[in-house]
């Protein structure tokens, strides 16, 4: 069961993002019961109940799944760098940024989620394949996504830490180590994009500070004067549309 935990995490993430509501209305899903006698008469029913209970336990790790196995990490880091660079304090609020990041994550992960839904979830709900086979099929799309955005160097670091044997092919890569390496890669990418966003606003701050110094207005905070100009610059270049489109394109 332990070797299937990463795949269950994957399947749980798709449950959170992309499972159609109709999937929960399947009549074949067994009901929970504490009647041990009935369980002894129907061992297959008990096995299904254990699978559901284990899956519900994994769903408790939903925040970690969202942060480490999707595009959410990169997006939220870029948004916070943008807010710091503009100097708008708590505007937009954290709730707005997080909500926008979640919706963008859903859009970006839609192809991966659809692949898992078509190849693993729906066949399992229709009783065409077993639980183990559904888990194996669910791993394929999400591992493809993770490999696409994970640097080899970051993956190598975690193999050095754990002391595991280096894999010869992608199929041999441990999913847990892949997720950890993907998170590190996303942090670096997010900080890189954040730096590129920060530079233009920093230059504007320096220009405003130089002008105020030349005019002898040393008591006037440069940040207060540059703030409306930075907001104006961001509006003129249609910043939100440009930024969100650019972030989404980095995952193509």
Section 61-77 average pLDDT:
80
Q: How many domains does the chain have?
A: 1
Residue 223: inside a domain? no
Residue 231: inside a domain? no
93-138 pLDDT, tens digit each? 888 888 888 888 888 888 888 888 888 777 777 777 777 777 778 7
Residue 73: inside a domain? yes
Q: Structure pTM?
A: 0.69
Domain span at 47: 2-197
242 pLDDT more than 50:
yes
147-201 pLDDT, tens digit each? 888 888 888 888 888 877 877 777 777 878 888 888 888 888 889 988 888 888 8
- Contacts with 106 (C-beta within 8 Å, 6 or more apart), sequence order: 17, 18
CB 131 within 8 A of CB 51: yes
Residue 221: inside a domain? no
Residue 81: inside a domain? yes
> Rounded to whole angstroms, how far apart are CA atoms 181 and 71?
14
């Amino acid at each position: 069961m332990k070797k299937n935990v990463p795949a269950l995490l994957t399947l749980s993430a798709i449950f959170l993002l992309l499972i159609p509501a109709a999937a929960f209305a399947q009549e074949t899903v067994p009901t929970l019961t504490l009647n041990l006698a009935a369980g002894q008469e129907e061992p297959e029913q008990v096995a299904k109940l254990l699978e559901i209970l284990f899956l519900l336990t994994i769903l408790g790790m939903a925040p970690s799944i969202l942060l480490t196995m999707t595009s959410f990490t990169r997006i939220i880091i870029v948004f916070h760098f943008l807010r710091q660079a503009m100097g708008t304090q708590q505007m937009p609020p954290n709730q707005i940024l997080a909500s926008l990041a979640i919706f963008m994550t859903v859009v970006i992960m839609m192809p991966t989620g659809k692949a898992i839904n078509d190849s693993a979830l729906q066949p399992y709900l229709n009783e065409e394949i077993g639980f183990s086979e559904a888990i194996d099929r669910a791993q394929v799309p999400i591992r493809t996504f993770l490999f696409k955005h994970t640097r080899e160097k970051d993956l190598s670091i975690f193999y050095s830490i754990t002391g595991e044997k280096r894999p010869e092919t992608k199929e041999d890569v441990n999913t847990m180590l892949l997720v950890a390496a993907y998170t590190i890669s996303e942090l670096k990418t997010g900080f890189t994009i954040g730096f590129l966003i920060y530079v233009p606003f920093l230059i504007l701050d320096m220009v405003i500070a130089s002008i105020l110094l030349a005019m002898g207005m040393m008591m006037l905070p440069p940040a207060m004067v540059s703030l409306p100009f930075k907001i104006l610059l961001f509006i003129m270049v249609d910043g939100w549309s440009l930024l969100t489109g650019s972030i989404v394109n980095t995952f193509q």
